[in-house]
Amino acid sequence: MTVKKFHLEHICRVEGHGNLLVEIDGNKSKNVEMQIVEGTRFFEGFAVGRKYDEAINIMSRICAICSTSHQLSAVEALERSVSIVPSDQVHEFRVLLDHGENLQSHILHVGMLALPDFLGYDGVIQMVPKYPNEVKLILRMKRIANDLQALIGGREIHPVNIRPGGFGNYPTTRQLEEMKDKLVEFKKGTQTIADLYATLDIPQFKNKTEQLAVYDGKTYPFIRGDIKSLLSGKITPPEDYKKDFIKEEVKPYSTAKFSTINDGEIYYVSPLARVNINSKFLTDDAKALIKQFGMKLPDFNPFNNNLARVIELMHCADEAIEILDKYIMKPPKEDNKNFRIKAGTGTIATEAPRGLLNHSYDVNKEGIIQRVDVITPTAHNTNKIEDDVVKFTPKLTDMKDDEIELFFNMLVRSYDPCISCSTHAITIDLRRTK
């Protein structure tokens, strides 16, 4: 039997540089490597020695598309380190800003990065002649999501308005009202996108593995909560994320780390994991989409991440409208800007658009950072992507080579990997050691 070798170099329509190497022998995969080849940047190294309030802007440069998540995680964890307690208003505006990011990241993914695969195009640019209205709708929705990020965060990418204890300034009632109208329009658009996705032929593949998501037992949380495991039901407080739980290792072909839980168990994090774990707490219109898509929860098909993203578009738009309504009635007050800081450790688990994100800091009494640790969603998922390839390969025997190649490309894209994110850490080419 000949060994077929697929080397998908520089997977497109993902953020950053990654390759996938698969060697198929008969109907089994022999060797699978998710090779992340993005250059490393050493964030944990150079954030040490910075003051706690400066690090917020620096950490967001780990990744553009999750820049809001990184800033929010950094600010929340750093506040814990130095014992600053933000007000409820601050928390709600952070959720609002975070939803701006979720909406923009998800509409970008379902509309511009994934949809071309299902409709058979190279990219959204090439879809314009045949699908002008759909492309216009997607661009309009993306604009609205970005407007929300810019209104609260000051800029669409790498917000400028976040600081310990709150925000630089708040929008006016007028601006909040305009934003609400736009989000109502966004919701309508989401239904159109959902109707489109309901007709698509989504590959049916299952890989039943453990999934993790932030959980608080009351809401569909993105910013604060514990880490819940779907299958075992285990609940881990954020500060125990490395205590007999998540372990990271380095593989010689990748500049990103690979993680496992509970000594070697493969797991994953994603919008689908969130829907699986927290579906109870979705808004009614979002729950209606689960029904429309005919999903049976818990769902273990990674391709259904796209459906989970559409469900979250609905949920986040709903919740954002609710928060806007509240502060249209009762305009936000200025934040307290004077606090005393203490030395300490702050660790937090949040949900970036792609899944669980951990930030942890030690800060001394002068406010200078002594230690930083970050695990990004893509670093959580690299093992799972390889595992999917191994499990799905025996089912691909009827496919032609170019179909197999497209299938693997789509599989990797379904994780919406954020490769610049995954290589923020201190990991370098290890091949030289062998």
Partner 1 sequence: MAKPQIGIVGFTGCAGCQLSLLDLEDELLDLLNLVDIIDFRMAMTGNKEGPYDILFVEGSIVNDKQEEEIKELRKKATVLVAMGSCACFGGVQAMRNYRDDKKIREAAYGKEGAKNFPVFQVKPINKVVDVDHYLLECPVNKYEFLDFVKYVLIGGTPKLPNLPVCHQCKALENRCIFLEDNIICMGPVIQAGCGALCPSHGMPCDGCRGSTLEAAYQQQVDLMIKKGASVQDVSRFVLKYNGEDPQVKDFLLKAWQEQDKNLQYGEEEEK
Nearer to ligand SF4, 276 or 420 (CB): 420
Strands 166-167, 210-215: pairing kind = unpaired
Q: Residue 39 or residue 331: which is nearer to partner 1 going by CB?
A: 39
Minimum distance from CB of 419 to ligand SF4 (Å)?
A: 13
Are 293 and 195 in contact by the 8 Å Cβ rule? The answer is no
Of these partners, partner 1, ligand SF4, none, which one is at the site of residue 333 (CB under 5 to 8 Å by kind)? none
CB of residue 177 vs ligand SF4: minimum separation in angstroms? Answer: 29
Binding partner of 40, given ligand SF4, partner 1, none, CB within 5-8 angstroms per partner class: partner 1
Residue 33's contacts (CB-CB under 8 Å, 6 or more residues apart) are 19, 20, 21, 251, 253, 254, 386
**Token duo for residue 146:** 């970005």
Q: Which residue has the tokens 């109208």?
A: 181
* β-bridge partners, 6: 22
Closer to partner 1 at the Cβ: 167 or 222? 167
296 burial class (0-12, 13-18, 19+ CB within 10 angstroms)? exposed
8 A C-beta contact, residue 329 and residue 129: no
- Which of ligand SF4, partner 1, none interacts with 151 (beta carbon under 5 to 8 A by kind)? none
CB of residue 377 to ligand SF4, shortest distance in Å: 18
Instruction: Please choose which of ligand SF4, partner 1, none residue 122 contacts, taking the beta carbon within 5 to 8 angstroms, the exact cut-off set by kind.
Output: partner 1
Question: How many Å apart are CA 312 and CA 15, to the nearest integer?
Answer: 21
Give min distance, CB of 420 to ligand SF4, in A: 8
Select 282 or 404, whichever has its Cβ closest to partner 1: 404
Closest approach, Cβ 272 to ligand SF4, in A, equals 28
CA gap 120, 402 in Å, rounded: 13
Name the residue among 351, 350, 359, 358 with its Cα closest to residue 312. Answer: 351
Nearest to ligand SF4 of 156, 416 (CB atom): 156
DSSP letter string, 239-279:
GGTTTTTEEEEE-TT-SSEEEEETTTB-EE-SHHHHHHHHG
Q: Measured between alpha carbons, how far is 126 from 116 in angstroms, rounded to an integer?
A: 9
- The site map against ligand SF4 for 37-66 (x = CB under 6 A) is ------------------------x--x--
Q: Which is nearer to ligand SF4, 64 or 406 (CB)?
A: 64
| Partner from ligand SF4, partner 1, none binding residue 108, C-beta < 5-8 Å depending on class | partner 1
- Please, what is the minimum distance in Å from the beta carbon of residue 159 to ligand SF4? 12
Q: How far is the CB of 61 from ligand SF4 (least distance, A)?
A: 4
**Bridge partners (DSSP) listed for residue 343:** none
Q: Taking CB within 5 to 8 Å according to partner kind, which of partner 1, ligand SF4, none is near residue 112?
A: partner 1
Q: Do 258 and 353 touch, CB atoms closer than 8 A?
A: no
CA separation for the pair 196, 46 (Å, rounded): 45
Are 307 and 294 in contact by the 8 Å Cβ rule? The answer is no
Q: How far is CA 310 from the centre of its chain?
A: 14
Q: Which is nearer to partner 1, 143 or 234 (CB)?
A: 143
Q: How far is the CB of 140 from ligand SF4 (least distance, A)?
A: 24
DSSP state letter for 15: B
Find all residues with CB under 8 Å of 243, minimum gap 6, and list them. none
Closest to partner 1 by CB, 52 vs 303, is 52
**What does the binding site for partner 1 look like in residue numbers (CB under 8 A)?**
10, 12-17, 38-43, 45-46, 49-51, 54, 57-58, 61-65, 67, 108, 112-113, 116, 122-126, 128, 135-136, 139-140, 142-143, 146, 154-158, 160-161, 163, 167-169, 409, 420, 426-430, 432-433
CA distance 300 to 272: 8
Query: Which one, 284 or 366, has the nearer CB to partner 1?
Result: 366
**Closest separation between CB of residue 426 and partner 1, Å?**
4
Q: Which does 184 bind (CB under 5 to 8 A by kind): partner 1, ligand SF4, none?
A: none
Q: Among residues 30 and 41, whose Cβ is nearest to ligand SF4?
A: 41
Return the DSSP state at 361: E
The partner in contact with residue 125, picked from ligand SF4, partner 1, none with C-beta cut-offs of 5 to 8 angstroms by kind, is partner 1
Separation between Cα atoms, residue 131 and residue 136, nearest integer Å: 9
Binding site for ligand SF4 (CB under 6 A): 61, 64
